[in-house]
Amino acid sequence: MPSAAYFRRQADICLQLSLIASNEAVSRRLIAMAKDYQAMSEAWGTMPPDIAARLDAPEGEGEGDPASLSSLPDPSRPPTDS
């Protein structure tokens, strides 16, 4: 299951690859991906602990029916101000 640390590692990998990319367009794309991963890590890190715990629990464990998790916000997307 993804976590804030996972997304931070992905961001770091993208930044490292951008430094060695020989193509400027590829380098810019990797930097953009790193920013996206960083935003995902921040969104995941600000998720309420009870929801994060339910998402981290193996299927069939934790509170509620795993099918009910589909109604939760997507942790890979940054929160929006409505």
pLDDT of residue 79: 56
Give dist(CA 10, CA 35) in Å, integer: 10
pLDDT of residue 3: 84
Q: Tokens for 59?
A: 């299927």
Confidence of residue 28 (pLDDT cuts 50, 70, 90): very high
Give dist(CA 79, CA 82) in Å, integer: 9
DSSP helix/strand/coil, 29: helix
Check: pTM over 0.75? Answer yes or no: no
Mean pLDDT confidence for 3-30: 93
DSSP helix/strand/coil, 74: coil
**Phi-psi domain of 62 (left: phi exceeds 0; alpha: psi -120 through 50; beta: other):** left
Q: Tokens for 41?
A: 């890590």
Domain boundaries, the chain: 4-57
**pLDDT tens, residue by residue, 32-79:** 999 999 999 888 877 766 666 665 665 554 444 444 444 445 555 655
Q: Tokens for 23?
A: 């193509």
Is 71 in contact with 77 (CB distance < 8 Å)? no
